[in-house]
Amino acid sequence: MKDLINKKILFIICGGVAAYKSLETIRLFKKNNAEIKTILTKSAKEFVTPLSVTSLSQGKVYDDLFNVENEMEMDHIALSRWADVIIIAPATANTISKLSQGSSEDLASTVVLASNKQVFLVPAMNVRMWEHKSTKDNIQKLSTYGYKLIGPTIGNMACGEFGEGKMSDPSEIFDEISNYLSNQVKNKRIKALVTAGPTNEYIDPVRFITNKSSGKQGYEIAKSLLKRGFDTTLISGPTNLHIDESINLIKVETAEEMFKETQKNLPTDIAIFSAAVADFKIDQKSQNKIKKQENFTINLEKNIDILNFVSNHNSMRPRLVIGFAAETENLDENATSKLSKKNCDWIIANDVSKKDSGFNSDYNEVTIFYKNSQNKKETLSLKKKSEISEEIVDRIVAQIN
């Protein structure tokens, strides 16, 4: 994409010698018709002036969180919602540290913390600062939050040293953001359906069969899809999780309700079944609460298999069908069998017997099994579910586009 007309970019310039490169980057975006608003941090004004930024961006420059005029025109929440993408360039070691701690001490950090858009960091710092463990830890933490990096590169620095830490060239930044926005435009035409959480299968009005699924992985996948521009619907069983209002959230309780809502949302281009749907339901639900007894027997019957139904649908099968498999043993064997029996394109399997990941954890380790691929499986090592979701969606984007 070269014509960025109607694309809104929020540019945050931090204090560093490389700040001058941001001016050239802004010029490139304006040349290609992007709409720019800029935030200058206090230290950034030691390197570039608001006047120079305004003349290049032809847009408003913001610099003070408590500026009454700025807040009357567009408050910091509205500013974070206005943008299609946020670029922080140069992203200094100090800025990276503040963001990793969730700081909101100035306008720049407050807008980023309040944002629901993709944030790109363009690091620029001395090689020793870049290689310092604290910086690496902060970058790792931010990656789990969904931040993306552009650079840094290796080269000669203003301080006279040589190494990694140099800010990427404006053309590289432009190409990366342009490609991202181009994919967003493509993805807006693509519908994605995600199921998440457990289901409750009632024995009587107050008791039910369920499982330990928290829904966290499915919710994170839906967030990642939305961030990439997909028209996203999330069908969720009972959870305590919250989701962005831009996602079409449908709440259900039982497997039958989830099945009916899934049918209503077909056809779709991508279907991701991460919900832990109960395999069985009660054959005869009691209309009244069952009183305590010495012995009590319930009869179970098989629930509808939503994944199997959608994956084998003749007229409305999605282009990409992804199932999940929560296993406690023989992960490879069980996942491969499910991949074949359910006729889906991918199975994403995890070992829920592990205490450090899986059910009710913020962390996960999964293996993706592919139906038609020379690389039959791929393991995504233990990391936050938000980061796992980003890696899964990276692969979805690569396959769909």
Give 293's contacts (C-beta < 8 A, 6+ positions apart).
none
Distance CA 400, CA 186 (A): 10
**Which amino acid type is present at position 30?**
K
Residues forming a β-bridge with 232: 192
Active-site residue, from 78, 159, 185, 206:
159
Contact 105, 142 (CB under 8 A): no
Give 55's contacts (C-beta < 8 A, 6+ positions apart).
none
Closest Cα partner for 275 from 217, 329, 327?
A: 217
Cα separations in angstroms, 243 against 20, 135, 234, 235, 295: 38, 30, 9, 11, 43
Contact 164, 152 (CB under 8 A): yes
Distance CA 275, CA 216 (A): 10
Distance CA 314, CA 376 (A): 25
Contact 167, 151 (CB under 8 A): yes
3-class state of residue 193 by DSSP: strand
Distance CA 225, CA 386 (A): 12
Distance CA 121, CA 139 (A): 10
In the block, tokens 């699924």 appear at 213
Identify the sign of the CA torsion 25, 27, 32, 38. Answer: positive
Distance CA 236, CA 213 (A): 11
**Residue 14 annotated as catalytic:** no
Contact 104, 145 (CB under 8 A): no
User: Omega into 205 within 30° of 0, i.e. cis?
Assistant: no
Distance CA 24, CA 41 (A): 18
3-state secondary structure 101-151: CCCCCCHHHHHHHHCCCEEEEEECCCHHHHHCHHHHHHHHHHHHCCCEECC
> 10 Å Cβ neighbour count for 376?
13
Residues catalogued as catalytic: 159
